[in-house]
Amino acid sequence: DRYDLSADDLKNLIQPNYELNDTILNAHLYLTAKLVQNTILFDSVGTHAFIQRGFAAKDIILSHNEWFKNNIVLFPIHHHQHWLMYIIDIQNKFIVEFDSALSNTFPKTKYIQSILKLLDVQHYLSFGRKIDFKQWSIARPKCFGQQDDTSSCGVHCALFARSYCTATRYPPITRKVIVQYRNLIAMDLIAHA
């Protein structure tokens, strides 16, 4: 899993109204996953392929069959021009659904169902049996803050995932400080390129 960022990607990232593309968010989430032991990324390209094609995307599913060897799976979804972040916490048996727009207009039920199907497949590949979801729950945190513009959802998702995985606390992400957070992500990407 390598994400090749161009100079244009980084130049765009630091613009206050730029909507993060798949390459930028996946690259930052990949770095987040590498910071914390037993954390992996099922990137937005794989996520999109599975949501669109279901089990016809078996090549992607089978190439990412290590979910139950880990504690956390980062699962970003790029829905049209908005990012949602799902974190599958295997160790604690819950799925975190983060939406910085706090919106009900996205097909979140469909996304949760897709995640549950993938969890079931991953469990079967690891243990040879279906998963028992009785002990699993879904968390929808609202304490991380809501975006106050139309283009910072990717930044919110990147920092929410980093916060969840590393227990780092960030001051509220607002329109006034969004460029600082964009620069933080850019510096992180450059430092680990």
Q: pTM for the whole thing? A: 0.91
Whole-angstrom Cα distance, residue 52 to residue 41? 19
Amino acid at 26: N
Asked if residues 154 and 76 have their Cβ atoms less than 8 Å apart, the reply is no
Whole-angstrom Cα distance, residue 145 to residue 157? 11
Q: Please give the CATH architecture assigned to the domain spanning 7-191.
A: 3-Layer(aba) Sandwich (3.40)
Query: What share of the chain in percent tops pLDDT 90?
Result: 58
Whole-angstrom Cα distance, residue 15 to residue 39? 29
Whole-angstrom Cα distance, residue 40 to residue 67? 8
19-71 confidence digits (pLDDT tens): 999 999 999 999 999 999 999 999 998 888 877 777 666 666 666 668 899 99
Q: Where are the beta strands (DSSP E) in 52-102?
A: 72-79, 82-89, 94-98
Cα distances (Å, whole numbers) of residue 57 to 1, 42, 60, 62, 178: 17, 13, 6, 9, 36
| Helix orientation angle between 22-35 and 178-191, rounded to the nearest 10 degrees | 70
